[in-house]
Structure 1
């Protein structure tokens, strides 16, 4: 299983329920990595999708505690156990965790690869991702050259877990 996230220099990912920044090259990278795969998200992330629609070319799975929540074009599950049961239908290498914070906390322990867009700026934020550079079990295995979008500098990073984790399903 994999996760993909965009973080600032302090590993912040959002403020007021919204991403911190929108970088066209990051959106393309996200699309390239996740196209044709399963994307797992929380309801708030679902609500933030463009036009409130499922991501085309991907199997969308939404975890929501709201029992009556429906998401057109997506599979909706209501608990961790229900999510893990649903994920048994797919090859673990095809699953991408895409946010938000609670979903990352719940599912990153099952991931073996993390794709991180690291923005070299500290934004005002209220939501963070774990700083992988401080977690011994994660190793930075690839980093792009520094990119620039207007005055925003960023890199694309790939982290891999140093040792095998138990499979969730």
Structure 2
């Protein structure tokens, strides 16, 4: 399982239930990496998607404590282990903050878009601990709409499996 996330300079990922920034190149990258794969998200992330439904072209799994949630285009799980069993190894965790914190130990790779700005976030991604993660790829800084950003790939260090 891998995670994919866009973070601001303080590892913020969202504010008021939405994204901090919309960078079209990053959204295209997200789509290219996740298309045809399973994506795992929490209820709030699902509700923030267009129409509150799963992403097209992907198997959508939602981890939620809410018992009456019946989303269109997604499967709901109330416990972590059955969701992990259903997700498989090629799944991507796509948010939100609680789901990232819960599933980060099960991830082997992190695809991070690092945005060089403070988005005033109210939810945050747990910054990868250097003793557990190493950067294996780093793009040059790019710019879109006055925002500087770059792509980082982190891989879990050998012998540091989680869940």
Alignment TM class, shorter chain as reference: over 0.9
5 Å-filtered alignment, 1:44-59, equals 44-59=44-59
Per the TM alignment, residue 119 of structure 1 is displaced from its structure 2 partner at its CA by 0.1
Unaligned ranges ≥5, structure 2: none
> Paired residue for 1:153, among 134, 148, 155?
148
**How much has 1:41 moved relative to structure 2?**
0.2
Q: Is the 8 A contact 1:61 1:75 kept in 2?
A: yes
In the alignment, is the contact (CA less than 8 A) between 1:112 and 1:164 conserved in 2? Answer: no
2:124 is the counterpart of 1:105: no
1:110/1:165 contact within 8 Å kept? no
Matches within 5 A, 1:108-119: 108-119=104-115
Q: Deviations over 1:45-78 (max 9, x none)?
A: 0001112232111100011111110111111111
Give the alignment partner of residue 126 of structure 1, picking from 122, 126, 131.
122
> TM-score, normalized by length of structure 2?
0.94
Any idea what SS the aligned residue of 1:153 has?
Answer: strand
Measured in 2, the distance between the counterparts of 1:53 and 1:127 equals: 22
Give the RMSD, CA atoms, in angstroms: 1.4
Query: Aligned pair in 2 of structure 1 residues 148, 72: CA closer, same or farther (>3 Å)?
Result: same
Structure 2 counterparts to residues 3-152 of structure 1, below 5 A: 3-87=3-87, 90=88, 92=89, 94-132=90-128, 134-152=129-147
Q: Give the aligned partner of residue 2 of structure 2.
A: 2
Relative to the length of structure 1, the TM-score reads: 0.91
Superposition deviation, residue 84 in structure 1: 2.7
* Runs (5+) with no aligned partner, structure 1: none
SS at match of 1:21: coil
Give, in whole Å, the separation in 2 of the partners of 1:4 and 1:136. Answer: 20
